[in-house]
Structure 1
Amino acid sequence: MTTATPVTASSATVLAEAGRRRTFAVISHPDAGKSTMTEALALHAKVISEAGAVHGKAGRRGVVSDWMEMEKARGISITSAALQFSYRDCVINLLDTPGHADFSEDTYRVLSAVDCAVMLLDAAKGLEPQTLKLFDVCRYRGIPVITFINKWDRPGRNALDLCDELGERIGLQAMPLTWPVGDAGHFRGVLDRRGGHFVRYQRTAGGATAAGEEHLPPSQAEAEEGANWTRASEEAELLGASGGEFELERFLNATATPVLFGSAVLNFGVRQLLDLLVEIAPRPTARLDAAGDPRELDTPFSAFVFKVQTGMDRAHRDQVAFARVCSGVFERGMVVTNAATGKPFATKYVQQVFGQQRSTLDTAFPGDVIGLVNATALHVGDTLHAGKPVVRFPGLPSFAPAHFAVARPADLSRSKQFRKGIEQLESEGVVQILRSLRRGDGAPVFAAVGPMQFEVAAHRLDAEFKSPVRLEPLPYTVVRRLADPKQRSIVDGNRTEVLTRTDGVDLALFPDSTALGVMRRLHPEVRLESLVAGTDD
């Protein structure tokens, strides 16, 4: 068998380059301004000259991270996107995630590839249901979180109340580094708590360009802003007395969160966020493999695939596997090994990604996200390595689905394209694909966390494979793993069904919890186990 070709670089070079990387995700509840913030960060880094943050506004471009037609039409992010750019002396790997709860599985995968998260809160709404779920995921993975309270240019809640909510509802101590001068909706600027000065922002036309800043000493701020400055100063002192002073260790161990105030659509406070990421966001560190052993940064190349995407380039329906580099140096053209199959994988076509725009990438270091083109042999969760084998990095979770539908080709003459499209959606994890002998391969069952995943799957089958699909909803709401395949005939009945997932796991589907209870009462010997994100326990 062909062996992987290790690429070597001095430990000092790898460690120095890894130290320059900042890899983070932007996460939030839908409509909190996530894609707008993504563009605002790129704007302040001067990698784009004008933001297109307002969807549907005449004469404005769509955001660079929202490239799918459905995203542009609906004005929401429904798939994650990667952007890489330089800022100061650092390399920024920014992952924009879908905010909608129906796509939480995609968000979870992205969070496995980052070292830090920026959580956006809507100033008027504070912590929302999806925000709470995302904080739980970050806590579970030990990911440090920076909180940006967005939309301060609009009417909203009291700043102190929003900070108190972080501690009361999710147990994170708020450590504000900036404090708003002026109520929500009457944004004057921020008090920089570390420097003690006033940062006053200057509006630009529609927020399309980076906002200017004016830095004023406290005495001048008091003279010009009066009661607004006085109140901000008093509240900042109160925060300090109540444990709100910044401590780097508390941020890194994910027990406290730095807080910034601003407005992404106006580019207010965005530079402060970008600078803070450069200063305090964790650098890449050794990643544990599935056996719990660390893969040190300066060992030979290793990476894991956290996302597979097709159709980013409409001229070439190629497939891109996004991988997070975990150790060593990657060089285009090297041959690596897929730990899942033991087979070599050539990396002739690898790209650096900026939204939908792509350019050839020659070298990458720990923390970087690389796009492997035409990677049809790679799947979400695969580990790649050169040199010393990796036991494999921990696999990524399959969430417990809550919605099910039988998929059939609307045009039988397009059955071949239908099957090819199903294989593609399956490899990307757009929906889970379940099969059974009862239904056959021609009628797979789509399983999804949320119903909007069905819309995305149907749209892509039609748009990319010219195979319109009919979806027939199934009446199941409860799913359990069938631990013993020999018990399949007991469960597979008139009102219940057993389907097999791609990874070979048998899933027992029930119309409701009552039906599950009846099955357990009549057949206590049947082993039905809950599905938990990350493990099937």
Structure 2
Amino acid sequence: MSITQEVARRRTFAIISHPDAGKTTLTEKLLLFAGAIQIAGSVKARKASRHASSDWMEIEKQRGISVASSVMQMEYRDCVINLLDTPGHQDFSEDTYRVLTAVDAALMVIDAANGVEPQTIRLLQVCRARNTPIITFINKLDREVQEPLNLLAEIESHLGMDAVPFSWPVGMGRSFGGVFDIRRDRMRIFRAGQERRGNQDDLIQGLGNPAIAARFGDAFVKANEEIELINAAAPAFDQSAFLAGRQTPVFFGSAINNFGVQEVLDALVDLAPKPGSRTALQREVQPDEPKFSGVVFKVQANMDPAHRDRVAFVRVSSGRFDRGMRLKVSRTGKEMRPNNVVSFLSQRRELLDQAYAGDVIGIPNHGVLQLGDVLTEGENLQFTGLPFFAPELFQAVEVKDPLRIKQLRIGLTQLGEEGAIQVFRPEAAGGALLLGAVGQLQFEVVAHRLKHEYGVEARLMPSRYNMARWITAADPKVLRKFMDANAANIAYDVVDAVAFLASSPAQLRVAQELYPGVEFHAMREHGGQVFGQNA
């Protein structure tokens, strides 16, 4: 096949949701229905013998939550699907944000009992800012939940887009009979606890089929009335409005019972877009260009504890990747020839020979690649949009055993480079390293990983700081003067970008008033070269 044909086969999307909406369960069932795995893990019990295929980190298995993004590739209906599972917990929103820069669509999972929750709204705002197309799956219909019409209204009011139902539930909780496929005019019957993949015996054709009314009684009468109302009042599905992020197709089901999963998987193939162009500072990069380019949107240390490796997750932006090809890192100008590049099915990896625009590949390396790095066949490109946000929580960190100080610094450097935590090195001599986070759970995860991956018992202590701003100035002398005058509040992050640490908003305002020539930034992009908005 040509590059253009291979690109057209790709579908790359992220699954997003509020915690506990069933996102990881749905991820597994998509893999199951596509034939990528043969048995689904259990995400309920911390000590279960099986865990979610997409949760590989030890702390994830203990807590039953996802705290890191996972990448899975599978083939279905002659399409190559790259599925990125993201953390649902708001404390890891930075990781999720960066993943959303690497996808062409999103699958939003909503708990039918709780409706649209705060974290869902935040993630949707990111998607809307990027005009990312969104498919919605309303989950847990096997429980007593909100009325489907109310859920549709909530999606439209909170998320600011038209919701177009592709399927509709018949009953809920104990009376849940299944979902009616509105577009195919057929009903899929609910059978609890069975892993049935598109079994034709579970289908009844036709909304007016008396067999449905006879079998499901009042639940079907109610569903039938709602479907007629939807057909009369809801807007017709418009592919261009969907691709622009103004309309979302909605599916109902129960992921844990495999219900509605088949329809979602088909929708990803039929509706989600193929890889599109990517914007670099230098030019617009088209996916079917002959030459390879790709951007590192995630770095993960110790995916294989036995080898202490660091894997750079690269979204292929254009062209074709061939194993062993000569690549240039735009940030450093250095060349590399990766020979052990892998594709992913969660913790299972396979060596790959080729990849195309839209694919996500893993390049094991020893610190050569950082978040936001661009790989090309020689052209100097810089893709934008991988931000680090100013942390809102700080803790000082020391090692309990002074002989392990080197391991502590190695561990924090690697965890900082992968974006798990922000690490600041005070300019003042003798100052303890500072950890900056968006949420408290990040500190717990880092302490756990330091202990289990690097053999370091870390002591986390309160810090007097609660704000950070990266600083720049047009005149280097002005910046140096400010740094000398505020030496006790100056620190360097993991890429040596300079930051001003403040104990209060008042302290920050005073610094801004006294030094108008210094710019204070609430966001920086990868490498420290490009800064975001002032604050």
- TM-score norm. by structure 1 comes to 0.92
Match of 2:149 in 1: 160
> What is the CA–CA distance in structure 1 between the aligned matches of 2:43 and 2:451, rounded to whole Å?
28
Match of 2:452 in 1: 463
Residue 351 (structure 2) pairs with residue 394 (structure 1) = no
Which deviates the most, 483-492 or 326-335? 483-492
Match of 2:532 among 530, 533, 536: 536
Residue 492 (structure 2) pairs with residue 500 (structure 1) = yes
Contact 1:35–1:53 under 8 Å retained in 2: no
Match of 1:312 in 2: 303
Q: Which amino acid aligns with 2:354?
A: T
Residues 399 and 474 of structure 1, relative CA distance in 2, 3 Å threshold: same
> 1:478-506: per-residue Cα shift (whole Å, max 9, x none)?
33333332353587377xx2322234433
Residue 103 (structure 2) pairs with residue 108 (structure 1) = no
Corresponding pairs, count:
519
Q: Which amino acid aligns with 1:215?
A: L
Contact 1:480–1:528 under 8 Å retained in 2: no
Local SS of the residue matching 2:470: strand
Match of 1:141 in 2: 130
> 1:210-231: per-residue Cα shift (whole Å, max 9, x none)?
4746111331212322222222
Match of 1:326 in 2: 317
Residue 7 (structure 2) pairs with residue 18 (structure 1) = yes
Match of 1:488 in 2: 482
Contact 1:77–1:97 under 8 Å retained in 2: yes
Q: Which amino acid aligns with 1:250?
A: A
Residue 83 (structure 2) pairs with residue 94 (structure 1) = yes
> What is the CA–CA distance in structure 1 between the aligned matches of 2:176 and 2:132, rounded to whole Å?
31
1:299 offset after TM fit, Å? 2.6
> Which stretches in structure 1 are left out of the alignment for 5+ residues?
1-11
Residues 296 and 43 of structure 1, relative CA distance in 2, 3 Å threshold: closer
Which deviates the most, 49-58 or 35-44? 49-58
> What is the CA–CA distance in structure 1 between the aligned matches of 2:19 and 2:429, rounded to whole Å?
36
Local SS of the residue matching 1:393: coil
> 1:38-94: per-residue Cα shift (whole Å, max 9, x none)?
101001011211111333177651011101000000000000001111111111110
> What is the CA–CA distance in structure 2 between the aligned matches of 1:344 and 1:490, rounded to whole Å?
38
> What is the CA–CA distance in structure 2 between the aligned matches of 1:58 and 1:394, rounded to whole Å?
41
1:133 offset after TM fit, Å? 0.4
Match of 1:338 among 304, 326, 329: 329
Contact 2:169–2:178 under 8 Å retained in 1: yes
> What is the CA–CA distance in structure 2 between the aligned matches of 1:262 and 1:199, rounded to whole Å?
10
> Which stretches in structure 2 are left out of the alignment for 5+ residues?
474-478, 526-530
> 1:241-279: per-residue Cα shift (whole Å, max 9, x none)?
333422211111100101000111111000110000010
1:116 offset after TM fit, Å? 0.4
Contact 2:162–2:246 under 8 Å retained in 1: yes
Q: Which amino acid aligns with 1:513?
A: P
Mapping of residues 113-512 of structure 1, within 5 Å:
113-184=102-173, 186-204=175-193, 210=197, 212=199, 214-217=202-205, 218=207, 219=209, 220-387=211-378, 389-440=379-430, 443-484=432-473, 485-489=479-483, 492=486, 497-512=489-504
Local SS of the residue matching 2:492: strand
Contact 2:252–2:260 under 8 Å retained in 1: yes
Match of 1:30 in 2: 19
> What is the CA–CA distance in structure 2 between the aligned matches of 1:532 and 1:292, rounded to whole Å?
23
Contact 1:260–1:273 under 8 Å retained in 2: yes
> What is the CA–CA distance in structure 1 between the aligned matches of 2:411 and 2:247, rounded to whole Å?
45
Contact 1:287–1:294 under 8 Å retained in 2: yes
> What is the CA–CA distance in structure 2 between the aligned matches of 1:392 and 1:520, rounded to whole Å?
30
Q: Which amino acid aligns with 1:502?
A: V
> What is the CA–CA distance in structure 1 between the aligned matches of 2:8 and 2:69, rounded to whole Å?
25
Which deviates the most, 123-132 or 176-185? 176-185
1:519 offset after TM fit, Å? 4.5
> What is the CA–CA distance in structure 2 between the aligned matches of 1:380 and 1:185, rounded to whole Å?
48
Contact 1:116–1:144 under 8 Å retained in 2: yes
Residues 439 and 472 of structure 1, relative CA distance in 2, 3 Å threshold: farther
> What is the CA–CA distance in structure 1 between the aligned matches of 2:190 and 2:130, rounded to whole Å?
36
Match of 1:48 among 25, 34, 37: 37
Residues 59 and 342 of structure 1, relative CA distance in 2, 3 Å threshold: closer
Which deviates the most, 269-278 or 53-62? 53-62
> What is the CA–CA distance in structure 2 between the aligned matches of 1:482 and 1:63, rounded to whole Å?
42
Contact 2:326–2:377 under 8 Å retained in 1: yes
> What is the CA–CA distance in structure 1 between the aligned matches of 2:524 and 2:177, rounded to whole Å?
43
> What is the CA–CA distance in structure 2 between the aligned matches of 1:427 and 1:104, rounded to whole Å?
16
> 1:393-419: per-residue Cα shift (whole Å, max 9, x none)?
225100121011122111111122122
Q: Kindly report the root-mean-square deviation, in angstroms, between the aligned alpha carbons of the 2 structures.
A: 2.1
Contact 1:405–1:447 under 8 Å retained in 2: yes
1:422 offset after TM fit, Å? 1.9
Which deviates the most, 454-463 or 25-34? 454-463
Q: Which amino acid aligns with 1:500?
A: Y
Contact 2:482–2:515 under 8 Å retained in 1: no
Residues 517 and 375 of structure 1, relative CA distance in 2, 3 Å threshold: closer
Residues 57 and 431 of structure 1, relative CA distance in 2, 3 Å threshold: closer
Residues 439 and 297 of structure 1, relative CA distance in 2, 3 Å threshold: farther
Which deviates the most, 523-532 or 411-420? 523-532
Match of 2:528 in 1: none
Contact 2:290–2:319 under 8 Å retained in 1: yes
Q: Which amino acid aligns with 1:268?
A: F
- TM-score norm. by structure 2 comes to 0.92
Match of 2:476 in 1: none
Residues 211 and 197 of structure 1, relative CA distance in 2, 3 Å threshold: closer
Local SS of the residue matching 1:315: coil
